Amino acid sequence: MNKSDLIDHIAQKSDLSKAAATRALASVLEAVTKTLKKGGTVSLVGFGSFGVTKRKARAGRNPSTGAAIKIKASKVVRFRPGKGLKDALN
């Protein structure tokens, strides 16, 4: 499922126009992004939680040359599925 499929699904299930569904999805994604940028977490009960973790700097290898490289420290988004999502998949 891609973004346009998700917009179609939202529009159909919530009786909204595609334009309104697009704005609603954009608003949700914007809110999640802003919260994660501030270092917060987004918890959707029954679905899961989005959070930010720090990844330490580490050594790596260039796959084409095999040369050792240094990979900088970075922040990554982590998703933990909730019980409802886990139960739906199993």
pLDDT for position 6: 95
* Residue ranges of domains in the chain: 1-38, 41-90
pLDDT for position 17: 95
- The pLDDT-based confidence of 10 (bands split at 50, 70, 90) is very high
Contact of 44 with 38, CB cutoff 8 Å: no
Among the listed residues 46, 45, 28, 24, the one whose alpha carbon sits nearest the alpha carbon of residue 36: 28
Classified by CATH at the fold level, domain 41-90 comes out as HU Protein; Chain A (4.10.520)
Residue pLDDT, tens place only, 23-70: 999 999 999 999 999 999 999 999 999 999 999 999 999 999 999 999
Could you tell me the pTM of the whole model? 0.79
pLDDT for position 50: 97
Tell me the C-alpha distance between 77 and 54, whole Å. Answer: 9
Among the listed residues 66, 41, 43, the one whose alpha carbon sits nearest the alpha carbon of residue 51: 41
